[in-house]
């Protein structure tokens, strides 16, 4: 197996940020840029039927049933599959299920599975794998899906290629949970009876998807190869996909400019580089492929202790932060100021709420009301690049201007995950996906039942409000869209007043790619499952 372009050279120069000194990092970054330029000038070209894609940051794991952060989903979404996919209007499409039926009373969902599917190790994929994945593995490991599974009474396999979900009561959003990042299919024959978190197969993931895991050179690349036994004729058309780990955003931009990388998924480069890159000859971009996710940037505020345990203090944070400045300057206009826990791109959004416009004087009044005594407030940036670091610094400046003492606590991805999971923060930046419906992607962040140490993806803020819990439960199963809208509007009004979280932006992530890469984004999760349909035009 060969190295991806420039990776061999990079390895020879010793570009390994985990052991390099700060000076060494700078020297090695210069070598990387020089190497990229030299390869281009020498006429470096693609291997036939191969794509190089940036993944940023490097995933902590590729086991999609255990880890569901963005980088993991980007790579593992072509290894694992679920029963359905979704188009950009969020309509369900076949995947491992060829057809499905919902009973008239909306309590029974019956899926017919394809009969020609095998796992990457050659074992047949059957309905028993679905039952194990959903009712055993994911109930234990997947905090977000677990909220939806509370509505499921049983999952059964009447035969090898039929799966039946029985619900306790109608749950309208249920048809939207069958995508790979939400409900990945896990091989029963590998995981049953094992410790899921320590199973050796986590290091060599086995799915049913169009690509198979080949190799992972930590700090350099992840290599996937075409699944020759994939059940769709003629797919995938790409032979090899290299997910390139390039820690520095400027170097990722250079790698794309010089032709060493073909695809920059949303968020791969700093916002100020986007316009220049998409104006290059032969370069295309799209904002599609995020419809299912509707990424919502926010800052957790620790509701348990410290200054942020005061509602008046949390409101002061909202009035003190200049989010229009962040949108226009730090995000270069790629986004919209968030006014609610529900994105305006998500069903049942309401703008009938309090609006926290930038108002430092109001913030000072609320700080006085909160009894704030000068305690240092720790802000934890999202370690996904310079944009997020600047964002944390902008919030720090805003808060200091109204009299709050602030410390920015920088970490790497592992440290950020750990600090959030262990509630070791006052304010912590993140962004979460909404999955088309508040019951799927919003409720999880505010339900008291979803407070648990050890995960950065549940109710990290520690917010508890029995009335909100009750309203979320009723809204999830309400019979009509009108009833659901009324309930979700009330929820938004309460949450915006309680402000357990500092909602920031509905962020936009353009995907940048070579124009000869066709059908890269064909679903509502974009590049995350895009390699199945992608091909290179001659």
Phi, psi of 151 (to 5 degrees): -90, -5
DSSP assignment letter at 52? E
Distance separating alpha carbons of residues 405 and 87, to the nearest angstrom: 47
For the chain, give every domain's residue range.
7-79+209-290+510-536, 84-191, 296-507
Quickly list DSSP for 403-431. Answer: T--EEE----HHHHHHHHHTT--SEEEEE
Answer for the pair 175, 102: CB distance below 8 angstroms, yes or no: yes
Quickly list DSSP for 127-143. Answer: HHHHHHIIIIIIHHH-H
Tokens of 162: 């039929």
Query: HSE of 320 in the Cβ direction (CA atoms, 13 Å)?
Result: 23
Distance separating alpha carbons of residues 92 and 470, to the nearest angstrom: 29
**Other CB atoms within 10 Å distance of the CB of residue 43:** 6
**Other CB atoms within 10 Å distance of the CB of residue 115:** 12
- Residue-wise pLDDT for 32-87, tens only, equals 443 443 333 333 344 579 999 999 889 999 999 999 888 999 999 999 999 999 99
- Reported in sequence order, the residue ranges of 433-534 that DSSP labels E, i.e. its strands, are 501-507, 511-514, 517-518
Helices (H) and strands (E) in the chain, counts: 17, 21
Q: Where are the alpha helices (H) located in 136-295, listed in sequence order?
A: 139-141, 143-149, 188-191, 249-257, 271-278
Prediction pTM value: 0.78
- CA-CA distances (angstroms) from residue 421 to 452, 454, 527? 8, 5, 28
Residues shown for the chain = 538
Which residues pair with residue 408 across a beta bridge? 379
**Peptide linkage before 519 cis (omega within 30 of 0):** no
CATH topology for the 7-79+209-290+510-536 domain: D-Maltodextrin-Binding Protein; domain 2 (3.40.190)
Angle made by CA atoms 229, 235, 238, in degrees to the nearest 5 = 100
Which residues pair with residue 431 across a beta bridge? 297
Answer for the pair 334, 510: CB distance below 8 angstroms, yes or no: yes
Distance separating alpha carbons of residues 480 and 483, to the nearest angstrom: 5
Q: Where are the alpha helices (H) located in 268-344, listed in sequence order?
A: 271-278, 311-320, 323-325
* Residue numbers in the chain where pLDDT is lower than 50: 1-2, 4-46
Distance separating alpha carbons of residues 20 and 308, to the nearest angstrom: 37
- CA-CA distances (angstroms) from residue 446 to 205, 254, 464? 32, 41, 7
Phi, psi of 368 (to 5 degrees): -65, -40
DSSP assignment letter at 95? S
Q: What angle, 0 to 180 degrees and rounded to 10, lies between the N-to-C axes of helices 481-498 and 466-477? A: 160
Distance separating alpha carbons of residues 28 and 13, to the nearest angstrom: 7
CATH topology for the 84-191 domain: Dipeptide-binding Protein; domain 1 (3.90.76)
Q: Which residue has the tokens 């992840």?
A: 222
Answer for the pair 531, 478: CB distance below 8 angstroms, yes or no: no
Q: What angle, 0 to 180 degrees and rounded to 10, lies between the N-to-C axes of helices 249-257 and 271-278? A: 0
Q: Which residue has the tokens 């290299």?
A: 242
DSSP, collapsed to helix, strand or coil, labels residue 520 as: coil
Q: Tell me the CATH architecture of domain 296-507.
A: Roll (3.10)
**Other CB atoms within 10 Å distance of the CB of residue 519:** 13
Distance separating alpha carbons of residues 91 and 175, to the nearest angstrom: 9
Give pLDDT, residue 47.
Answer: 55
């Amino acid at each position: 197996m060969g190295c991806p372009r420039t990776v061999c050279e990079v390895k020879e120069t010793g570009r390994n940020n985990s052991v390099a000194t700060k000076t060494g990092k700078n020297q090695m970054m210069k070598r990387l840029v020089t190497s990229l330029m030299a390869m281009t000038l020498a006429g470096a070209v693609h291997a036939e039927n191969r794509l190089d894609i940036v993944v940023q940051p490097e995933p902590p794991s590729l086991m999609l049933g255990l880890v569901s952060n963005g980088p993991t989903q980007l790579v593992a979404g072509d290894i694992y599959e679920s029963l359905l996919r979704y188009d950009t209007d969020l309509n369900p499409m076949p995947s491992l299920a060829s057809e499905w039926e919902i009973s008239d009373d909306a309590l029974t969902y019956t899926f017919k599975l394809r009969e020609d599917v095998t796992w990457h190790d050659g074992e047949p994929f059957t309905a028993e794998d679905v039952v194990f994945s959903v009712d055993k593995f994911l109930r234990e490991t997947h905090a977000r899906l677990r909220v939806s599974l509370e509505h499921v009474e049983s999952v059964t396999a009447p035969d090898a290629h039929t799966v039946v979900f029985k619900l306790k009561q109608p749950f309208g959003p249920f048809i939207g949970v069958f995508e790979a990042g939400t409900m990945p299919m896990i091989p029963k024959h590998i995981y049953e009876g094992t410790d899921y978190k320590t199973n050796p197969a986590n290091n060599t993931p086995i799915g049913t998807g169009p690509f198979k895991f080949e190799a992972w050179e930590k700090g350099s690349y992840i290599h996937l190869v075409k699944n020759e036994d994939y059940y769709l004729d003629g797919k995938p058309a790409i032979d090899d996909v290299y997910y390139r780990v390039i820690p520095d955003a400027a170097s990722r931009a250079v790698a794309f400019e010089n032709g060493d990388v073909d695809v920059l998924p949303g968020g791969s480069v700093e916002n100020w580089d986007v316009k220049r890159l998409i104006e290059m000859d032969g370069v295309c971009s799209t904002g599609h492929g995020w419809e299912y996710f509707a990424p919502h940037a926010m800052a957790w505020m620790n509701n348990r202790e410290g200054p942020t345990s005061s509602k008046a203090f949390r409101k002061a944070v909202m009035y003190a932060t200049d989010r229009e400045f962040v949108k226009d300057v730090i995000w270069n206009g790629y986004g919209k100021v968030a006014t609610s826990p529900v994105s305006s791109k998500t069903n049942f959004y309401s703008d009938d709420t309090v609006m926290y416009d930038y108002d430092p004087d109001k913030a000072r009044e609320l700080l006085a009301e909160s009894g704030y005594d000068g305690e240092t407030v720790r802000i934890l940036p999202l370690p996904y690049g310079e944009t997020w670091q600047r964002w944390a610094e902008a919030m720090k400046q805003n808060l200091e201007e109204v009299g709050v003492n602030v410390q920015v606590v920088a970490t790497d991805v592992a440290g950020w995950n750990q600090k959030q999971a262990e509630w070791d923060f006052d304010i912590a930046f993140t962004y979460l996906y909404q999955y088309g419906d508040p019951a799927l992607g919003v409720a999880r962040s505010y339900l008291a039942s979803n407070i648990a140490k050890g995960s950065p993806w549940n109710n990290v803020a520690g917010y508890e409000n029995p009335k909100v819990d009750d309203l979320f439960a009723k809204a999830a199963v309400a019979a009509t869209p009108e009833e659901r809208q009324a309930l979700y509007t009330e929820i938004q009004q309460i949450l915006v007043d309680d402000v357990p979280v500092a909602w920031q932006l509905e962020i936009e992530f353009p995907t940048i790619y070579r124009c000869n890469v066709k059908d890269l984004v064909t679903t509502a999760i974009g590049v995350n499952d895009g390699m199945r349909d992608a091909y290179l035009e001659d």
